[in-house]
A and B are shown apart, each in its own frame.
Chain A
Amino acid sequence: MLHNRIALLRTERNVTRRELAEAVGVNFQTIGYLERGDYSPSLELAMKIARFFGLPVEMVFSFEPFAPLAAELMRAKASLAGEP
């Protein structure tokens, strides 16, 4: 299964499913299936979605579950502060 951050990115940028769907050329219901993990996109669709959000594809899709955003922020903060 391919995990993704589409819902999070969409919410963060205030984009509806229909807007994202139109931008990447799929039906808006397909975005819902992607967000729920019920469908894994083709490479072409994954890259279109990543391009829409202006991010590398590996920041939007992953074979491993994404860590919670708060945990990643804490880790990034600790890294910047030079903590182990």
Chain B
Amino acid sequence: MTTKPLTRPRPGRLSRRARRAAIGATALAAATALAVLALLTEPGSAAASLLKLTIATATLGGFAFVMSRSIHWFVGNAPDEALDERELALRNRSYFRAYALFAGLAVAAGFYFLDLAPDLGLWMPVHYDQWWAVVWGFLVLALGAPAALLAWDEADPDGDA
């Protein structure tokens, strides 16, 4: 197996600590904003629209910031022939963990929405904005989790000397 010559790591890449801080801050901000959107805003209000726009921009922007300064978006999405065996193993591990995380949350959400919330009278999404918050949260998780887990885990590489 051979790899194509690619520019890795990207210029100006982030250290692992900076990567973790950026990913953690993005996830926390997105979760908080989604919770505010789902629980506090009036459906269809200008505040809800503004919050939706902010959430979409912040999550995509934060994710793009981390991925543009690391190899992880590339490793998470490149064709197999562009990766070496270590990178393929790394990607397989991250996809497995992301799948486990997503499947676990999907089961928990299904249990909550189908059984717990109706039976116990807990919060349920009713309006479009509330459903938007739930669906957007799962979209971000599904699309971003593999590369985010890669970026979270990967040690800082050495130089090439």
Which one of B1, B84, B155 has the greatest number of beta carbons of chain A within 10 Å? B84
B135-161 near A? 1/0 per residue, CB < 8 Å: 000000000000000000001011111
The residues of B that contact A41 with a CB separation of less than 8 Å are 85
The residues of A that contact B9 with a CB separation of less than 8 Å are 29
Q: Which of A22, A26, A36, A39 contacts B158 (CB 8 A)?
A: A36
**What is the interface of chain A, defined by CB distance below 8 A to chain B?**
16-18, 21-22, 25-30, 32-33, 35-36, 38-39, 41-42, 44-45
- Contact residues of B: prevailing secondary structure: loop
The residues of A that contact B1 with a CB separation of less than 8 Å are 25, 44
Select from chain B the residue with minimum beta-carbon distance to A39.
Answer: B86
> How far does the Cβ of A14 sit from chain B's closest Cβ, in whole Å?
11
How many chain-B residues does the 8 Å CB contact rule pick out? Answer: 19
CB contact list, B78-105 vs A, under 8 A: 83-87, 89
Query: Contact between A42 and B157 (Cβ–Cβ < 8 Å)?
Result: no
Select from chain B the residue with minimum beta-carbon distance to A20.
Answer: B160
Query: Contact between B86 and A25 (Cβ–Cβ < 8 Å)?
Result: no
Query: Contact between A27 and B8 (Cβ–Cβ < 8 Å)?
Result: yes
> How far does the Cβ of A29 sit from chain B's closest Cβ, in whole Å?
4
> How far does the Cβ of A17 sit from chain B's closest Cβ, in whole Å?
5
The residues of A that contact B157 with a CB separation of less than 8 Å are 29, 32-33
B45 proximal to A (CB < 8 A): no
B52-91 near A? 1/0 per residue, CB < 8 Å: 0000000000000000000000000000000111110100
Query: Contact between B86 and A33 (Cβ–Cβ < 8 Å)?
Result: yes
A39 to B158, CA, bound (A): 14
Q: Which of B2, B83, B89, B160 contacts A28 (CB 8 A)?
A: B160
B104-147 near A? 1/0 per residue, CB < 8 Å: 00000000000000000000000000000000000000000000
The residues of A that contact B159 with a CB separation of less than 8 Å are 17, 32
A33 to B84, CA, bound (A): 12
> How far does the Cβ of A3 sit from chain B's closest Cβ, in whole Å?
17
Select from chain A the residue with minimum beta-carbon distance to B161.
Answer: A16
Which one of B8, B86, B87 has the greatest number of beta carbons of chain A within 10 Å? B86
> How far does the Cβ of B132 sit from chain A's closest Cβ, in whole Å?
40
A sample of 27 inter-chain contacts (CB < 8 A) reads A16-B161, A17-B158, A17-B160, A17-B161, A18-B160, A22-B5, A25-B2, A25-B3, A25-B84, A26-B85, A26-B86, A27-B3, A27-B83, A27-B84, A28-B160, A29-B8, A29-B158, A30-B85, A30-B87, A32-B157, A32-B158, A35-B158, A36-B158, A38-B155, A39-B86, A41-B85, A42-B85
